[in-house]
Chains A and B, each alone.
Chain A
Amino acid sequence: MGAQLRLLRRRIRSVKSTAKITRAQELIASSRIIKAQQRMEAAVPYEREITRAVSAVLSNSADTDHPLTVAKERPTSAGVLIVTSDRGFAGGFNANILREAEALAGHLRGRDIEVKPFVVGRKGIGWHRFRGREMSGEWSGFSDSPTYNHAKEIAEALVGAFVDENGIDEIHVVHTQFVSMLSQEVQVKRILPLEVEETTEEPVDGPLPYYEFEPTAGEVLNQLLPRYIESRIFNALLQSAASEHAARRRAMKSATDNANELIRTFTQKMNQVRQAEITQEISEIVGGANALADASAGKE
């Protein structure tokens, strides 16, 4: 067997085993997207209710000067929560987030605001470590199936730093929004201080009723706002998890397609080489036989 033939066989075998891995990853990701989507949907009622409750308190009470809603006139430092994944194999998923986060950081620095990264996910942590950048907080190990307790832990750290006098003045979140199976967008949002919008427009589901508060509006707000932040962060984590699976599925699908394409061209090439080898052998045999025949004919 020719050396080239052997080489091609070996490459085909190796590409085939890679294709098996990527195909398996693709299937795993597909099944996990559905789970992640269900968890996203399960969280919707709570998000809706808590948003409604926050709007109710803010629109009912005259003094909305809660520490979490008051913007500093000259913010000097901002925390940026960057939600990445723990594992790669997801195409440009993490690269896109980190690029947006860098853009935001550049923008903030342009306004003389110091940027303090809070990073979720091993990929983002690794990225910061590699560049020797200090992180104010890091969490990992749950990017593909976050629970509310994870969100709570992150929110506690962020709100703690925000409330602290020497802490941060703003909190931004950079995460991937799950739009559909095929499209996920990186979103950059400021979550603290909350923006209280003075609006004269009627809310969609009618004007909010005039609530009584137990015990007081201020106390309710004290309890509500941290829960609201937690819920926003939980939403970001869930969206990011679903997006991660969708990105991985897409990346692994194209990897599998490419591998199959490679196998096809290699097989063609291999068959060509095999044919050429056989043709050569035949012509050698025929040539040899002719030469023998000629030689014996010359003797007679």
Chain B
Amino acid sequence: MAKLRIGVVSPEREIWSGEADMVIAKTVDGEIGIMPNHAPVLGVLVEGGVLRIKRGDGDDVVAAVHGGFISVANNDVSVLAETAELGSEVDVAAARDALQRALASVGADGDDTDAQIEAKRARARLRAAGEEV
């Protein structure tokens, strides 16, 4: 079966590239699963989403992706993220810390949208690292 060629890029560096069987991302419309020979799609990703790249051999790649786009054409998948982090690179303690702080600000001021986004991002990073949130 054909494989997907995947590139996860942020403006400052290429985060991951390689081949895989399936990609699951979260767009503003909901989760989208891409398998080989998928029709061309261009979607907007949500803030603080988790990207899962299934590689068949059980060696999945998980990344926290904040905003950006996914574009699929001719089995080429590119994920353009404003910032992204591989699950294996996440500093769990720092992310927990960030989540605590963000939740505290949301608790103090319910309309603090920056803090809400910050909390989403921290959650996504923790989930990408395989932690329970």
Chain A interfacial positions (CB closer than 8 Å to B): 39, 42-43, 45-46, 49-50, 52-53, 56-57, 147-148, 151, 208-215, 219-220, 223-224, 227, 230-231, 234
Known contacts A49-B7, A52-B71, A220-B69: A214-B78 contact under CB 8 Å: no
5 pairs, CB–CB < 8 Å, chain A vs chain B: A148-B10, A151-B11, A215-B28, A220-B44, A227-B80
| Bound Cα distance from A214 to B40, whole angstroms | 11
Contact residues in A for B14 (Cβ distance below 8 Å): 42, 45-46
Chain B residues within 8 Å of A, Cβ to Cβ: 7, 9-14, 27-29, 32, 39-44, 68-69, 71, 73-74, 78, 80, 82
Q: For residue A220, which residues in chain B have a CB less than 8 angstroms away from its CB?
A: 42-44, 69
B41 touches A43 (CB 8 A): no
Chain B interface mostly helix, strand, loop or mixed? strand
A219-B80 contact in complex given A43-B11, A49-B9, C-beta closer than 8 Å = no
Q: A42-B14, A227-B82, A234-B11 are in contact. Are A212 and B74 (CB under 8 A)?
A: no
The minimal Cβ–Cβ distance linking A212 to chain B, given in whole angstroms, is 5
Question: Which of A147, A212, A219 is close to B41, meaning CB atoms less than 8 Å apart?
Answer: A212
B12 contact from A57, A148, A224, Cβ within 8 A: A148
| CB within 8 Å for A224 and B11 given contacts A53-B80, A209-B74, A214-B27 | no
Q: Is B80 touching A214 in the complex (CB atoms < 8 A)? A: no
Whether A212 touches B80, Cβ cut-off 8 Å, given contacts A45-B9, A49-B71, A148-B11, is no
Distance (whole angstroms) from the CB of A260 to the closest CB of chain B:
40
Beta-carbon contact of A224 and B41 below 8 Å: no
Cβ of A209 and Cβ of B73 under 8 Å apart? yes
Tell me if B42 and A56 are in contact (CB < 8 A): yes
Residues of chain B within 8 A of A211, CB atoms compared? 40-42, 71, 73
Contacts of A213 in B (CB 8 A): 41-43
Q: What residues of chain A lie closer than 8 Å to B7, measured between beta carbons?
A: 45, 49
The distance in angstroms between the C-alpha atoms of A10 and B10, with both chains bound, is 55
Complexed CA–CA distance, A52 and B40 (Å): 13
Q: Are B80 and A215 in contact (CB under 8 A)?
A: no
In the assembled complex, the Cα of A39 lies from the Cα of B109 at a distance in Å of 39
Residues of chain B with a CB closer than 8 A to A42's CB: 12-14
Please measure, in the bound complex, the distance between the C-alpha atom of A215 and the C-alpha atom of B80, giving whole angstroms. Answer: 17
* Complex Cα–Cα for A246 and B45 (A): 38
Q: Are A219 and B44 in contact (CB under 8 A)?
A: yes
Q: A56-B71, A212-B42, A220-B43 are in contact. List 13 more A-B contacts (CB 8 A).
A: A43-B13, A49-B71, A49-B80, A148-B11, A211-B41, A212-B41, A214-B27, A214-B29, A214-B32, A214-B42, A214-B43, A223-B69, A231-B11
Per the bound structure, the CA–CA distance linking A98 and B11 in Å amounts to 28
Q: CA of A213 to CA of B82 in the docked complex: distance in angstroms?
A: 19
**Nearest B-chain residue to A49, judged by Cβ:** B78
Which among B10, B39, B73 has the greatest number of chain A C-beta atoms within 10 A?
B73
Which 3 A-B pairs have CB atoms at the shortest separation, nearest pair first?
Answer: A214-B43, A209-B40, A148-B11
